[in-house]
Amino acid sequence: MRFRFRLETVMRQRRVEKDIAQREFSEAQDHVQKQLQKIKKMYKQIDDARVTAQLLEKKGGRHASQLVQTEEFIVGQNILIQKERERARELMAIADEKLEILTEKLRAFKILEKLKEKKREEFRKEHNRRIDKQLDDLTVMRASINQSSDKTGSA
């Protein structure tokens, strides 16, 4: 007799749901990381523009128009950064939702996994009990056969 878990199909379905939730959470995390990298690049561009502006200031008056353009770029970049930061917050909220879903799917799968292990252990105990009973029955039968052969042999 072999162990068979009656909820195996449910468990497989929960495993699939857990895997899908894991993948969706990973994708959401990737989107957040890409967005944060984008923002980081934008800040780097501002830093580079400030260095350029300092160089232009040192060079003097004939680079005034370039200096104005650089300052306008920095102002515009700051506005874009605020929009991108808002987008990052939205992506983080989505990632948090995906994490909650993943946590729930993991919990549901673990419950079934524990139930399966409990049922497997019950099956083992029952199986061992049956084997012990069969062995006891065989021992009793042998003893009764030996006793009856001893009685018939001595008479």
* pLDDT band, very low/low/confident/very high, at 155 (cuts 50, 70, 90): low
Query: Phi and psi dihedrals of 7, rounded to 5?
Result: -100, 25
* pLDDT band, very low/low/confident/very high, at 20 (cuts 50, 70, 90): very high
How many CB atoms neighbour CB 117 within 10 A?
11
140 to 122, 129, 135, 137, 143: CA distances (angstroms): 27, 16, 9, 5, 5
Q: What is the pLDDT of residue 59?
A: 80
Residue 14: which residues within 8 A CB-CB, separation 6 or more?
105, 108, 109, 112
pTM of this prediction exceeds 0.85: no
Burial readout 32-42 (b: 16 or more C-beta within 10 A, e: otherwise): beebeeebeeb
Q: What is the pLDDT of residues 49-76, one digit of tens each?
A: 999 988 888 887 677 788 889 999 999 9
Q: At what angle do helices 8-59 and 64-154 cross, to 10 degrees?
A: 160
The residue type of 135 is L
Q: What's the 3-state SS for 48-68?
A: HHHHHHHHHHHHCHHHHHHHH
How many CB atoms neighbour CB 56 within 10 A?
19
Q: Which residue has the tokens 């060079």?
A: 59
- Range among 1-5, 12-16, 142-146 rated most confident: 12-16
Q: What is the pLDDT of residues 87-145, one digit of tens each?
A: 999 999 999 999 999 999 999 999 999 999 999 999 999 999 999 998 888 888 888 88
